[in-house]
Structure 1
């Protein structure tokens, strides 16, 4: 699976660029899961209630999801290299601030800064790959980068536990400083310098702010507030911000989010697909620890093992899914991936309480194989569906859809599915939901040929 540079990239070494993007991309998911094991220690040190610690995770995820379309647009406008380097430096500084935070408020501010910086890395990293890797090898490169996110998310809790036991919770943030050295050095030395492709008009500040408000309102509504007034408030904010955003983006010559993206069939299907895929992946991640906590005769440590089986399968198959995309197109691995995912999750819906640890692990590994096949294909489909000058913005919207999948399933598990996952026999409702999400993804991919302009890059001006 050799990856080649586009002609004219000069001295840049594609292997180092891909590794650099991989390390930059893994920072976001690593820091979203690694801190979970340290929350009790953090709240204890600062004398806070344990519930306050969850905001360190919630605010991080919402900030990343809300900012990704905006920072992707910044890369389109001002160039990938400077925006990427600013993101890496900002994450370095924010991590240093978190490591020495003297109060919970400072730590929270550092986490928000971390999330804002991390939101830069995925969309602009993918855009850099599109600019430096030949189209014939783009899927392979995206697949190689694609293994970083699930591995980082899976590695977060065990790595966090080791650091917490060895040096305390501040060591979790110090780790980031070491991880960032390579992407910073490679970015400075090798990333292409002439990558500015956006228009020179006035930047859409109002549209960028409205995108953030819209996504925050969506996340707030999904959180299912206990008060009816709170629900009404979030719903009103969602509707008003959405309406104003539509008007703003239609009238702006260089919108923060081009509305044409959502009527571009390959991009729209790819974005919906990654939302469904992340929904199907994060559902088991979040629900199995609850479903298996009080299960009789369940082996100690087996829960982490069966979840790891799924995440490792996702990571291992991601490069192969990208390679398949290069050789047979994106639809085939995406469709097969969703079907395999549904086939892996369905046994847990119908026979979850009766399956042994090995049976649960095998089912999740099969689902992970499907996710690995489909995710790289979907990412490649999304970037090839748009004009190169809009790759950053499109990658940002796509990445936001990825996070919305995890946010949506989290809300369902805290609300309508909460009673099911508190019961060791309650596999049916949640896993039928995850299986349905994968099946819908397969249907969307199967219907894609019915839409026009498939495989043709479409400008979203």
Structure 2
């Protein structure tokens, strides 16, 4: 496989897989912020049931990451990307038959599996097009596609849901998924040539074949950050309704996107020059500030400022956590390592809405949920300070 032949970061392969990743995440985030509202208002679900409907998507994603992360190089990156995109298209269309909460749960689980397969393949594929010396910068630009999708998707969902309804959003998502599938079949992906030793490892059923132990700590950190951010994805639409700030709630994600777009290239360069600590600690602090501002917001201005800090916090962490992961492993383990990292992140995003919805009765209100979640990044910062030691990149990447 041709790995990092082009020293220019914005080569054709890098741009293509980044755009594919953007659209895949756009569809996911478009649904994630409106699912709870649709489940409660249209299907009569409770807050806990709605949170489960949001979170079960990620459970499907986890199954995909565990299985596809293990088998990715054996099946081939090209096949996983293409047929994963096709499955993603079919299961996105299946939202049209979600007439009750139980069908919705099943569809979201399967759709999550498709999403997990495509994103796992894309996360591995992009590393082949990033020059070694620009890992931090490259992953941050690539991660920008995810962060922008995390902002534009919810904006589209929150804006269109009251205007055109859930089914019209499904049709839009199907069109986007169809375009993505076509692009995946057209994109010529090179597969990695495995040694017999690596094939033997993949075909074993040891825990090591599913999980990369070297990145377990950063995956655990991602899990906790995911729980904190899930309060935004899962409940901001309902919270904004209660505050009579529906329009500002939609533009929350626009501000998030703008902040991430401006700061992401800078954070990547800081990562490469000064190391991960220079970006990780500020990300924890900014996420805490953003969630506290959400908890105490009373007007649109504060809500939008909260969006800026959440973008600085979660948006910065997500990509740089991925860059940390790449520093810790050799090429043949990239697929499993990235799968492990995103399992942690996705698990937090998945169990978070259900957990927070279930304890809402104890906490009393969505305001207290955001206060509760604001404490999590502070705990994460303390754990990171005590247990994580920056490491240099593995030299044998070729």
Name the structure 2 match of 1:7.
5
Residue by residue over 1:355-375, the C-alpha shift from the partner in whole angstroms, topping out at 9 and shown as x without a partner, is 544234324422322333332
- Superposition deviation, residue 277 in structure 1: 2.5
Which structure 1 residue ranges, 5 or more long, are not aligned? 44-48, 208-247, 250-254
Pairs within 5 Å for 1:355-434: 356-422=299-365, 427=367, 429-434=368-373
Pairs within 5 Å for 1:41-440: 43=43, 50=45, 56-99=53-96, 101=97, 109-160=106-157, 169-197=166-194, 199-201=198-200, 207=205, 248-249=206-207, 255-258=208-211, 261-262=212-213, 264=214, 267-286=215-234, 294=242, 301-306=247-252, 308-310=254-256, 312-314=258-260, 316-346=262-292, 352=296, 356-422=299-365, 427=367, 429-440=368-379
CA–CA separation in structure 1 for the residues paired with 2:241 and 2:103: 34
1:457 is matched with which residue: 378, 394, 397? Answer: 394
Secondary structure at the counterpart of residue 128 of structure 2: helix
Name the structure 2 match of 1:222.
none
Distance 1:95 1:357, change over 3 A: closer
TM-score (norm 1): 0.70
TM-score (norm 2): 0.80
Secondary structure at the counterpart of residue 147 of structure 1: helix
CA–CA separation in structure 2 for the residues paired with 1:102 and 1:279: 26
Which structure 2 residue ranges, 5 or more long, are not aligned? none
Name the structure 2 match of 1:223.
none
- Superposition deviation, residue 398 in structure 1: 1.1
CA–CA separation in structure 2 for the residues paired with 1:41 and 1:347: 27
Q: Rg bigger for which structure? A: 1
Structure possessing the higher relative contact order (Cα contacts under 8 Å, 6 or more residues apart): 2
CA–CA separation in structure 1 for the residues paired with 2:359 and 2:249: 23
- Superposition deviation, residue 30 in structure 1: 3.2
- Kindly tell me the number of residue pairs found equivalent between the two proteins: 387
Secondary structure at the counterpart of residue 457 of structure 1: coil
Name the structure 2 match of 1:239.
none
CA–CA separation in structure 1 for the residues paired with 2:98 and 2:291: 45
CA–CA separation in structure 2 for the residues paired with 1:125 and 1:192: 10
- Asked if structure 1 preserves the Cα contact closer than 8 Å seen for 2:293 and 2:302, the reply is no
- After superposition, the CA RMSD in angstroms is 3.8
- Asked if structure 1 preserves the Cα contact closer than 8 Å seen for 2:18 and 2:126, the reply is yes
CA–CA separation in structure 2 for the residues paired with 1:24 and 1:335: 29
Distance 1:364 1:65, change over 3 A: same
Distance 1:95 1:127, change over 3 A: same
- Asked if structure 2 preserves the Cα contact closer than 8 Å seen for 1:133 and 1:141, the reply is yes
- Asked if structure 2 preserves the Cα contact closer than 8 Å seen for 1:37 and 1:161, the reply is no
Distance 1:60 1:175, change over 3 A: same
Residue by residue over 1:47-84, the C-alpha shift from the partner in whole angstroms, topping out at 9 and shown as x without a partner, is xx545777653432221133312212221322211111
